[in-house]
Amino acid sequence: MQIPSSLQNAIEEIAAKIPLSSLKSAYQQISEAYHRGEASDFLFTHPTQILAYLLARLPATYAAVYSAMQSLIERLPEWNCCSVLDIGSGPGTASWAAAELFPDLSQITLLEKSEPMIAIGKQLASYSEGLALQNSHWLQQDLTKRFALPKADLTIFSYVFAEIDCLDLIQKTWEQGTSLLIVEPGTPKGFANILAARKKLIELGAFIAAPCPHHFACPIAGWCHFPARVERTKVHKLLKEGSLGYEDEKYSYVAASPLSPLPVEGRVVSSPLKLSGHVKLSLCTREGQIEQKTVTRKQKEIYRRARDAEWSSIWM
């Protein structure tokens, strides 16, 4: 996967004035702060650090949100999303993914605390080919304070739980009649936050649309996460000192809706083992169980589907 070319061009054009050595030093500070578990507030006040983030981290978070959003769309094939509320938006990464996936999207509202991040987000949006992003409405907002919550067809929390406890805010957004997409890092801590959000949404009466094909307790031993692969640019490789031409972002997520999702048999929750003449799948099923399923060549159509299945695919 690649981020939209207009977004990539915008980032590279804005960052072209900053020496690569400065960007690399700034990214090292971001990485060290992330591993120490520090909040990102101080990172989003300095333009060089913001640009380093855009070059090194935005592509991976975009891929994660895009992939999770695709899974939501798969389960709600008749759903028409015309408006998005992006909470804790950063530079608008999730909104760019929504603009790519929802052809009828006409209204985007973004809530972000950092004024410098909003300034760069607006600058990036001006490069978009779509009117929804070009005309997006940005609000500077501390999410820990009381504020009026705009309505939308879809509300997105992308990598926000690391900064604040979102459960009360999730309830308030749900009461607006919105669908919700919550994406977190694919780590034990990130998944714990997703489980808490999922539990809250089920208590509120939401339909869980993705990734779970059920509303029972999570049956996975460990933590549920999925991979999103994104191509690396030359600058991306230099900043992260990577040798591969791609990066795999592991993410956890939950998507919920007031609408009943398309029923499915299960979801593939680990990398399929594709062997000669048969495929082994690990499925989270609609009964709330983990099933090890082997599909052989003799099963023809099912076998073809199994050969095409990937980690995160729904299983019909």
Tokens of 30: 């971001």
**Whether residue 219 is found in the same domain as residue 296:** no
**Whether residue 251 is found in the same domain as residue 270:** no
What CATH number is attached to the domain comprising 153?
3.40.50.150
Pick the closest to residue 228 from 204, 205, 251, 206 (CA basis): 251
**Whether residue 109 is found in the same domain as residue 248:** yes
**Whether residue 195 is found in the same domain as residue 98:** yes
- Residues contacting 96, CB < 8 A, separation 6+: 3, 4, 7, 62, 124, 128, 133
How many C-beta atoms lie closer than 10 Å to residue 292's C-beta? 10
**Whether residue 142 is found in the same domain as residue 290:** no
Taking CA 54 as the corner, what is the angle to CA 49 and CA 59, rounded to the nearest 5 degrees?
145
**Whether residue 20 is found in the same domain as residue 54:** yes
**Whether residue 299 is found in the same domain as residue 216:** no
Pick the closest to residue 283 from 299, 302, 263, 269 (CA basis): 269
**Whether residue 80 is found in the same domain as residue 143:** yes
Look at the chain and report how many structural domains it folds into.
2
How many C-beta atoms lie closer than 10 Å to residue 198's C-beta? 23
What sign does the dihedral 171-177-178-180 (CA atoms) show? positive
239: helix, strand or coil: helix
Q: pLDDT value at position 44?
A: 67
Rounded Cα–Cα distance for residues 224 and 215 (Å): 15
Answer with the one of 240, 257, 274 that is the final residue of a domain: 257
Q: pLDDT value at position 36?
A: 65
Considering just the CA atoms, what is the radius of gyration of the chain in Å? 20
**Whether residue 83 is found in the same domain as residue 232:** yes
CA atoms within 13 A on the CB side of 306: 24
Pick the closest to residue 264 from 206, 313, 300, 204 (CA basis): 313
pTM confidence score: 0.94
Residuewise pLDDT in 10s, the chain (316 residues):
889 999 999 998 988 888 888 888 887 877 777 666 665 665 666 788 888 888 888 999 999 999 999 999 999 999 999 999 999 999 999 999 999 999 999 999 999 999 999 999 999 999 999 999 999 999 999 999 989 999 999 999 999 987 888 999 999 999 999 999 999 999 999 999 999 999 999 999 999 999 999 999 999 988 999 999 988 777 776 677 666 777 889 999 999 999 999 999 999 999 999 999 999 999 999 999 999 999 999 999 999 999 999 999 999 8
Give me the helices (H) in the chain, please. Answer: 5-15, 20-35, 47-56, 58-75, 93-101, 115-125, 131-134, 167-174, 188-203, 234-240, 301-308
Residue 304 domain boundaries: 266-315
**Whether residue 195 is found in the same domain as residue 282:** no
What sign does the dihedral 88-91-94-95 (CA atoms) show? positive
The answer to whether the peptide bond before residue 103 is cis (omega within 30 degrees of 0) is no
Answer with the one of 214, 236, 257 that is the final residue of a domain: 257
Q: pLDDT value at position 160?
A: 93
**Whether residue 289 is found in the same domain as residue 198:** no
Q: How remote is the C-alpha of 156 from its chain's centroid? A: 9
What DSSP string runs through 260-281?
Answer: PPPP-SEEE-S--EEETTEEEE
**Residue 314 in contact with residue 226, Cβ under 8 Å?**
no
**Residue 91 in contact with residue 50, Cβ under 8 Å?**
yes
How many C-beta atoms lie closer than 10 Å to residue 44's C-beta? 21
**Whether residue 74 is found in the same domain as residue 191:** yes
